[in-house]
Amino acid sequence: FAFLKYIEIFQLKSEQKNFLFLMLTFYFAAPFALTRPMFESVAAPWLTLAAVFSLAYDVSAKLKDLLWGVFFVSVSFVLRQQLGFCALVFIILPTLKKRWAHLCWAGALGLSFFVLAGIPDYFIRGKFHFSLLNLTIYNFEHGSDYGDRTVLFYPTLIFIIILAPFFIKKYPPGFFKEQLGRHKSLLLIVLLFVFLHSLFPQKWERFIILLIPVL
């Protein structure tokens, strides 16, 4: 659905659609090549949907696309709480466009979903967002128990397993500038993801499963 939505946004031609679905085929094979796919493989489609709707909003500036994006990233947050940081893209985009009413709507909806996500913990464990607090504290205090890798680990891994093949081809002048401008919302999500995950000492390659369809 996310890939079909992407095709709709940019009105891709037949050969472009075929190439896109070829990449989608490789995505489904990817978890078998990476270690211990767990919450990542469940949350990845929801982050992808959020990313595509961030693109849709960047192109159309329609409030509906922005709110759908907030909904999908909220679902991904419930499945894997670290992805809540990627929700900042739906604050950044309306700010860049100076759509202050859209910013308020996105913030209000996101805050509402955040409150709803914390209520079960209150009744089950006696504290609002108990799981999120414990996850954060545990990762900072015990993350190094699982290894301590350089902050360059994720950028290097992303380049090697996902981006490197695309540099085999020779591209026309201005190609990368045009693509980065068109897909800046996707780039923001990748940067937010890499920044947060680089704060913790333990860095596992399976986390990148979440970014494969986005990249």
pLDDT tens digits, one per residue of 21-50: 887 777 666 656 555 557 888 899 999 999
Whether the CB-CB separation of 20 and 3 falls below 8 Å is answered with: yes
Whether the CB-CB separation of 172 and 2 falls below 8 Å is answered with: no
Cα–Cα distance, 66 to 55 (Å, whole number): 9
pLDDT for position 203: 85
Check pLDDT > 80 for residue 166: no
Cα–Cα distance, 35 to 49 (Å, whole number): 24
Cα–Cα distance, 47 to 18 (Å, whole number): 23
Check pLDDT > 80 for residue 157: yes
Minimum mean pLDDT among 55-69, 97-111, 149-163: which range?
149-163
CB atoms near residue 28 (< 10 Å): 10
pLDDT for position 138: 78
Whether the CB-CB separation of 43 and 80 falls below 8 Å is answered with: yes
pLDDT for position 47: 96
**Spacing of C-alpha 78 from chain mean position:** 14
% of the chain residues with pLDDT over 90: 51
pLDDT for position 29: 65
Whether the CB-CB separation of 75 and 63 falls below 8 Å is answered with: no
pLDDT for position 6: 94
pLDDT for position 27: 64
Minimum mean pLDDT among 29-33, 105-109, 129-133: which range?
29-33
pLDDT for position 31: 57
